[in-house]
Amino acid sequence: MSNPSILSSLYVKPINAKEYGVFSSSQIHRNSTIEFCAWIPISQKTQLLLKNHDQVLDGRLFVNPDGIRKEREIGEKLAELDLQERLDRGLITTDQFKAIVYDVVNPTKFLHINSHAILLGFGSIYRRSATPNINWDYDVEKKLYKFYTVQDIDPDEELTYFLN
């Protein structure tokens, strides 16, 4: 696994009384890597708590592809069982249906899947924009989030992304 890193020309400054933005002191060319972010895993359970109690932090969460893959595997397993059709055809009872779903999904384990992440470094400081100049993806091998430019960035221009 590679180490987290941040381009040395990046800096943070206030945008207004409540927000900060990330800027560059020098020009950055298109397709340049600007940061590899380490991250803190956030479980489904924690995400639900944040959604109800901390809108600011909830809005800074990033999808964790490893966790989403686990959720997708559970969904695929349920789809393979074709439970609704079996229930409709009378091949299983409602209680059997519920028991199978509970066994496959296992809410206790499901709530502990790390489906989201809080990014360290500048990862959680970059702001969103309808006209972004950076993008991100998750490097599965390195287990880091990678931010890169999608256009040339001028000195003192804010770096923004579109949450995808």
Q: What is the pLDDT of residues 34-86, one digit of tens each?
A: 999 999 999 988 888 888 887 777 778 898 988 888 889 998 999 999 999 99
Q: Which one-letter amino acid corresponds to residue 69?
A: R
Cβ–Cβ < 8 Å for 125, 22: yes
125-150 burial code (b ≥16 CB/10 A, e <16): ebeeeeebbbebebeeeeebbbbbbe
Task: Look up residue 40 and give its DSSP letter.
Answer: E
**Mean pLDDT score of the chain, rounded to an integer?**
91
Mean pLDDT along residues 4-24: 94
pLDDT over threshold 80, residue 26: yes
Q: How many CA atoms lie within 13 A of 109 on its CB side?
A: 8
Could you tell me the domains of the chain? 1-62+117-164 (2.170.270.10), 65-113 (no CATH)
pTM of this structure: 0.78
Nearest to 38 by CA among 112, 147, 111: 147
Q: What band does 164 get if pLDDT is binned at 50, 70 and 90?
A: low
Q: Where are the beta strands (DSSP E) in the chain?
A: 5-6, 10-14, 20-24, 33-37, 39-42, 62-63, 116-119, 127-128, 134-139, 144-149, 158-161
